Amino acid sequence: MKRFTCSGCSLLCDDIMVKSDGLFISKVIGACLKGKERFDQVSAQNRIINPMIRTDGELKEVSWDEAIEKATEIFKNSLNPLLYGFSNVSCEAQEAGIKLAQKINGFIDSNASICQGKFLKRARDLGINLTTITEIINKGDLIILWGANPAETIPRLLNKVLFSRGKFRMTGREIKTLVIIDPIKTASFRVMGVRDLPLIVEPNKDIDLIRMLKEECCSADIIPSEGVAGVDMDDLKRLLLHLTGAENGVIILGQGVIQPHLDYDLIEELLELLQMINERQEKGRISLLLMGGHFNMAGFDHVALSSFGAFGKLEFKHNQIVKTDDTLVSKIEKEDFDCSLIVGTDPISHLPHSLSSKMAKKPLILIDNHITATSHVAEVVLPTSITGIESSGLAYRLDQVPIELHKIINPPNNLPSDEGLLTQLYESLNKGGSD
Ligand code: SF4
């Protein structure tokens, strides 16, 4: 058996033992259920192994030449393409996607922009510490899950950061306090012990909690006796004590706090609170960890930054990068695109109907390895190998650490990697001298 990294989620566990003869995988040891599902995708019933083009309203299997030609034709007829996804592919594929976007004068964005990317950019602007898994294992004494349910989304995260023994401490779980702030009692609450602090906030009242904590950090005002946002006074006092007394605390932020709100900016206020606490902290600090779901959600921002010095979304005109205030959502809302290339994601399921219906109206090219709601509306479907199992590449773990993924077996039908396919599309556009 050999050790491999799992690409089932953004934790990229590098301790998975796999038995394989190079053709089939016969045993996987150490992966959680979600990781096992990733390995099962190799032979899943909804796997796509041939390219397809929509003809008379139905997707029909075609040769690779026909599929590439059709995709190239759509790009050549487009003045304003939209490229989106790129969180379930390697950094090399992200780079190839950006190169293609430049070639076709497109707007390119990743799943991170409607997820953790919003936090990351603001946190960096404010100079807030981002921490690593290793640092939490070795030095952490306070872990706050805010709107995050890792027990179900990143199943081995708590095993690693909460239950493991640190290198610089002779103690582990017994000195780590877990605080969970969530409107519902998620599966993650099950790991809580007597000294931990479960806080059930009223739905959409996180902002009241943050504002109260900000006031308490700045002045000696008493906490209201009736509590705030459904959390009672004693628990609020305990929370404040933990926040201001931890030596190495981390707030792990999940999807629950990322949702946009019309009349306030939760992200901004939460980061301000963190800044305030860290200014007042005398012996320690609180840092941040963002819980992205897809295995390389963090990678796109790194690639965009190193290729064009810009963070996240990129827009090209006349094959040059231009400044843009647009986002994926604003582009779709205004219908400011005439075709789309979707890579490794399913926006037709994930976006609200008001947006997905607009996306479905324009020609859509999909690069993915299994059937989704998006493949049901796509004009062209181009299947690829599964990164981390059937092809290699670099990915950034959720704590921004780069990890190399390795190929274990050959893909069915000799499917290309995402990088290989995106490069092929780029080269196909070069044919005939069009630029
Ligand atoms: S936690 Fe994520 S990376 Fe680790 S084994 Fe499970 S799915 Fe794979």
CATH of the domain at 105: 3.40.50.740
The reply to whether ligand 1 has any atom less than 6 angstroms from the CB of 11 is: yes
Do both 42 and 179 map to the same domain? no
Do both 272 and 133 map to the same domain? yes
State the DSSP H helix or E strand holding residue 175, giving kind and residue range, or none if neither. none
Look-up of token digits 């004590």:
241
Nearest CA owner, ligand 1 atom 1: 156
Do both 244 and 381 map to the same domain? no
Do both 29 and 93 map to the same domain? yes
Do both 138 and 285 map to the same domain? yes
Q: How far is CA 159 from CA 19, 126, 237, 295, in A?
A: 24, 30, 28, 18
Closest atom of ligand 1 to 33 CA is: 6
Do both 31 and 148 map to the same domain? no
Last residue of a domain, one of 290, 321, 351: 290
Residue 251 to residue 14: CA distance in whole angstroms:
24
Q: What is the pLDDT along the chain (435 residues), one digit of tens a residue?
A: 999 999 999 999 999 999 999 889 999 999 999 999 999 999 999 999 999 999 999 999 999 999 999 999 999 999 999 999 999 999 999 999 999 999 999 999 999 887 766 677 777 777 777 899 999 999 899 999 999 999 999 999 999 999 888 777 666 788 899 999 999 999 999 999 988 999 999 988 899 989 888 876 655 566 777 888 888 888 988 998 888 889 999 999 988 777 777 788 888 888 888 888 888 777 788 999 988 889 999 999 999 999 998 888 999 999 999 999 999 999 999 999 999 999 999 999 999 999 999 999 999 999 999 999 999 999 999 999 999 999 999 999 999 999 999 999 999 999 999 999 999 999 999 885 444
Do both 196 and 99 map to the same domain? no
> What DSSP designation does 152 have?
H
Question: Considering Cα of 300, then 302, then 304, then 310, what sign does the dihedral take?
Answer: positive
CATH code of the domain in which 257 resides: 3.40.228.10
The reply to whether ligand 1 has any atom less than 6 angstroms from the CB of 388 is: no
Residue 301 to residue 305: CA distance in whole angstroms:
6
Last residue of a domain, one of 290, 322, 345: 290
Last residue of a domain, one of 290, 306, 340: 290
Provide the residue range defining the domain that includes 221. 117-290
Do both 47 and 15 map to the same domain? yes
Residue 317 to residue 351: CA distance in whole angstroms:
26
Contact 312, 299 (CB under 8 A): no
Do both 190 and 302 map to the same domain? no
The reply to whether ligand 1 has any atom less than 6 angstroms from the CB of 154 is: yes
The reply to whether ligand 1 has any atom less than 6 angstroms from the CB of 150 is: no
- Number of structural domains (the chain) is 2
Do both 239 and 156 map to the same domain? yes
Do both 300 and 278 map to the same domain? no
Helical H runs in 18-132? 33-40, 64-76, 91-103, 117-126
Do both 99 and 137 map to the same domain? no
Nearest CA owner, ligand 1 atom 2: 9
Closest atom of ligand 1 to 156 CA is: 1
